[in-house]
Amino acid sequence: AGDQNLFTSLYPTLSQQLPREPMEWRRSYGRAPKMIHLESNFVQFKEELLPKEGNKALLTFPFLHIYWTECCDTEVYKTTVKDDITKWQNVLKAHNSVDWLIVVVESDAKKKNKTNILPRTSIVDKIRNDFCNKQSDRCVVLSDPLKDSSRSQESWNAFLTKLRTLLLMSFTKNLGKFEDDMRTLREKRTEPGWSFCEYFMVQEELAFVFEMLQQFEDALVQYDELDALFSQYVVNFGAGGKCL
């Protein structure tokens, strides 16, 4: 969300560098941590893409929402950007989407062309006060990201680390909820109207997720469980018992 032209200018570098450094992925239930590379698909913010109540999909809606701005002008922030961020956050709250990040891009060249500008970091302070409350880390500064300097590189690396961390946190949380919903659905398999085909699609999507993360053993576990469940279905059906 936010300044689409700004994001477009940074996207090639972002998409190339985001997966370079691995992240340690820690999950619950005593599972051993693993190192994974994060590749993300960025889409323009639209309310219709947000998950709806009862949506069991994991791959069809965005996890982390990012608002981009390079505003450094007092009046522009008051009259335009602040209102735009407010509308964006209200839509997220309406859909219970709590994973977000605001990126403020600072450009020395842009500041030189402005007269009514705030002192350095003041826009960031205002955004943090207006929107972040106790989550000040949800607003980050990206300094001259396209400039070839050590300061710009340090800023870019810090931003990538923050983005990887938030992406992984959000993904892990959504994955955990998806697995909980899947287990609840599986436990209902003896109830009338339960469909193995519908359940198959849910657990197969979980397998696809593990494949995307190159966690092939975890993906195979999902197919083994589906195979066992289907075998039970066939045996019960052949014995004249309840269909699963």
pLDDT digit string, tens, across residues 126-173: 898 889 887 878 999 998 888 888 888 899 999 999 999 999 998 888
244 has a pLDDT exceeding 50: no
How far CA 198 is from CA of 20, 57, 128, in Å, comes to: 37, 12, 44
pLDDT attached to residue 5: 94
Query: Are 163 and 171 within 8 A, CB to CB?
Result: no
| Higher pLDDT among residues 194 and 138, named by residue | 138
Average pLDDT score over residue span 194-217: 87
Per domain, the residue ranges of the chain are: 2-171, 188-237
Alpha-carbon gap, residue 163 to 44, rounded angstroms: 17
pLDDT attached to residue 191: 83
Computed over every residue of the chain, the mean pLDDT equals 84
- pLDDT tens column, 86-132: 999 999 999 888 899 999 998 776 655 555 554 555 888 889 888 98
